[in-house]
Amino acid sequence: MNHHPTVLGSFFTHFLLLSFLSIGGAATTIPDMHRFLVEAHGWMSDAQFSAMYAISQASPGPNVLFVALFGWQIGGPAGAIAGMIAICGPSSLIALGFEYFAGRAPQARWPGLIRRGLATLTIGLLCSSGWVLAASVDHRWSAVAVTLLTIFLMLKTRVHPLMLVALGAGAGLLGLV
């Protein structure tokens, strides 16, 4: 944990900028968060990064909790608060502004066009996030196989995602991954 003001300032500023790119949610910016926190600054390891993300996604509550965990790792409670304000502030204001102006023009085409364009962008960003997370933990062939099988089953079947989570947990318990 590093409470130095320049570390928290750098973290806050970077996550503030990421908020403008977090189309589809903060998880879409995972690749850049990983680059910034793990690769550029070494404030956490690949394993810590992935574990914090996984823990936050398994916990009840908003899916942006991983930002608070990243902030806590870097600067304790002040880091957690700084990260949440930075990642949620600008994007929330943009969303409120968009909905306000879109609501004032219910017959206009532009809100629908923007939503469709952003949906496509979100899918690409989420795919890159999945790639970064999988690459940081899938080091054995069996783990890669489980990841690829999960992707295939999600795309080609109607298997409930909780079943896939349970199968992944079972593979972990059996020592396969």
Going from N- to C-terminal start, the domains of the chain cover: 5-109
Q: Which of 16, 22, 23 is nearest to 86 (CA)?
A: 16
Q: How far apart are CA 49 and CA 174, in angstroms?
A: 24
Parts of the chain with a pLDDT under 70: 1-3, 138
Q: How far apart are CA 116 and CA 120, in angstroms?
A: 7
Helix (H) or strand (E) holding 17: helix 5-19
Q: How far apart are CA 108 and CA 92, in angstroms?
A: 22
What is residue 115's predicted lDDT score, i.e. its pLDDT?
A: 86
Q: Phi/psi of residue 57, each to 5°?
A: -75, -25
pLDDT in tens, 103-112: 888 888 998 8
Q: How far apart are CA 132 and CA 55, in angstroms?
A: 16
What is residue 150's predicted lDDT score, i.e. its pLDDT?
A: 86
Helical residues (DSSP H) of 105-160, grouped into ranges: 110-137, 141-156
What is residue 48's predicted lDDT score, i.e. its pLDDT?
A: 92
Residues 22 and 84 sit within 8 Å (Cβ to Cβ)? no
